[in-house]
Each structure stands twice: as structure tokens, then as C-alpha cells.
Amino acid sequence: MKLRYCQIDGGNFGDDLNTWLWPTLLGDSFLDENDAEWFLGVGSILSHDLPQESRKIVMGSGTGYKRPPVVDESFDVFCVRGPHTAAAMSLPPEKGIADGAYLCLATERFREIAKLQKTHRAAIVPHHQSVETIDWERIADSGDLKFVDPRRHFFDVFEQIARAECVLAESLHGAIIADALRVPWKPFRIGHRFNLFKWNDWFASIEVTDCEILEYPILWNREVSLSTHLKHRLKRACGQAFNKYRWKQRPLRKSTPAEFDQFAQELSDVAKQEQFFLSSDETLHRIEERLLSCLADLSARYGQSLKSAA
């Protein structure tokens, strides 16, 4: 079967880890280029436009960006990212276990990374698209933070998160990997890239019910053309009318240096606090066990042996 994941120009570790995780757990021969069967793992890739003619094997994926698919006989769903995805796809609640990235816990490489010594107080992991429009190096330096570029290789990102005492995340998988590594995390949003459905889906899966999401003014370090300004104004108006958060967060102008400096200071102040979040050890253990059970069922159904020494 063929691996289906979101391939981002420039890279995004949360998507790219699919290329290592599944061959590690299921063996190099499990995946091929056969379009008749698609394997859908980590990522918000469940949508209505998946090909009807291909069989779709789902293991920990989520929805959130497009209209969810109608589950028919072409789907074989072992589990999805959380209860909100399960409800959106009319699946039984027990299918909404957790993000497939938690299966990193079943690999020796990830367990070794979790043992790394701490070298910095706080890491900041932005959304991969924010890296192109905000100077995170400057913000990190001004706020005494460690900037973790989500476009880097996933092992580099894992290690930098593991070495932090806490993580500030605009990237959902920045927070998920931190949670798996037992590094306390706190989410923040600064613009239209933050997808609240995905985060709430994940919060519900890890039984975090009172998570504060830090919200900051829209930041943008590029000039906004007149046509873009007008388009974004229209988008904002529609967002206001239909209560669409992401539409309301479109930038109208370039942010000032003072606004970036204030943002860096506020993040620095947050990093000194103790009010971060983490799933319980019991919840994490239960998630890992349930995901491994689904993976074992998948392996048995498709004639593959799990790698016990992954």
C-alpha cells in the first residue's frame, strides 16, 4: 500500500515523520507504490476529496481543514486522532483514540531522545507557515527562547524539544511531541494558521479540558499589497459574519518592530511561569496501549508482523 501524507515544500516535521515511523514499526516492505491501497497515518488528511477508487487504511489521522469524508466500504479505519474527528466522520467514539504520532513512543530511537539532558528553559515551535512570515530567530533571541524550526528533520526537532524544560507551540505536533516526551507545553495563536478544531480534537483525546490558548495580535513581517489588503478585509468580514476564526485572522499590514519586541517579551514572561500543560502518565500509557492494539490488528489483517525491537 502507498503512504499518503501531506508533503510540504520546505518540510514539516509533523508530516515528514510518517516516512520513518511506519516503516520502523511495520517493516520496510509494508509500504509500496500501489495506488490501490492508501495508508493514512499522521496528519489532518481525512477529507472528502480522497480518491473513491482506492482503499483507505486509516491509522491515527485527523480531519479539520476540509469537509470530512463519508466513510464507506472503501475505508478501513483502525483509529483517528480524537473524538471530534470520529464524530465528524460518524465513527464510533472508541475510534477516536489519539494522534498517530504517539506511536513514536514505541520506538527505541524516541525513547533514547526522551532521556536527553535539558539545555534550555523554553523552546518555541511555530507553525511551519509562520516561519516564512515571521523572524523567529529574532523573537527567540529577544525573549531568551530556543527557536525550533519545524521545517528541520524530525529527529532534530524531537531532540530540541526533549532538551527544553517547557514548550510554547503554535505547531500542533510541536505540542504532541512535547507531550509524548513529557515536556510541559502551552499553545499560542497569532494568525489564521491556527486550526482550533485540530487542537480541540487532540485536547479531548488526552483528557485536557481546561487548556488556555494564548492569543496574540496578528504578526506579519511582509508588506501587504493593496489587492491582498482588500482580499483580507473581505475575508475578515466573512469571518465575522460566519464566526470563522481563521478568516478573521488575515493580516492587513506589516507588523512594526515594536510589536515583534512586545511579542518576544510576552513569550519570555510566559516561559517563566509554571502554568503549562501535560497529559497524565496514565492517559499517555492508555493511549500508547490502544494505538499499539490497533496497529497489531492492522498488521494481522494485512499480513505483516510488527517490529518488536523498533
Which residues touch 34 (CB under 8 Å, ≥6 apart)? Answer: 1, 2
List the domains of the chain with CATH numbers. 2-100+287-301 (no CATH), 109-282 (3.40.50)
Average pLDDT over residues 243-254: 70
- CA–CA separation, 113 vs 110, rounded Å? 5
**pLDDT at residue 151, as a whole number:** 97
- CA–CA separation, 239 vs 172, rounded Å? 22
What percent of the chain lies above the pLDDT cut of 90?
66
Average pLDDT over residues 94-114: 98
**pLDDT at residue 309, as a whole number:** 43
Strand ranges across the sheet with 214-215: 146-147, 120-125, 164-169, 185-189, 214-215
- CA–CA separation, 140 vs 220, rounded Å? 16
Residue 90 cell numbers, joined = 460518524
- CA–CA separation, 85 vs 95, rounded Å? 9
Least confident of 1-5, 76-80, 177-181: 1-5
**pLDDT at residue 152, as a whole number:** 97
What is the pairing mode between strands 120-125 and 146-147? parallel
| b/e burial code for range 98-135 (CB count within 10 A of at least 16 → b) | bbbbbbbbbbeebeebeeeeeebebbbbbbbbbbebbe
Q: What is the pLDDT of residues 9-21, one digit of tens each?
A: 999 999 999 999 9
Flag whether pLDDT at 91 surpasses 90.
Answer: yes
Residue 197 cell numbers, joined = 478544531
Q: What is the DSSP letter of 130?
A: G
Q: What is the pLDDT of residues 297-306, one digit of tens each?
A: 999 998 765 5
More confident residue, 234 or 37: 37
Q: Which of 201, 198, 165, 202 is nearest to 182 (CA)?
A: 165
Average pLDDT over residues 124-133: 91
Q: What is the pLDDT of residues 166-176, one digit of tens each?
A: 999 999 999 99
**pLDDT at residue 240, as a whole number:** 75
Matching residue, cell 471530534: 84
Flag whether pLDDT at 279 surpasses 50.
Answer: yes
- CA–CA separation, 121 vs 267, rounded Å? 12
**pLDDT at residue 245, as a whole number:** 64
Number of CB atoms found within 10 A of residue 21's CB: 23
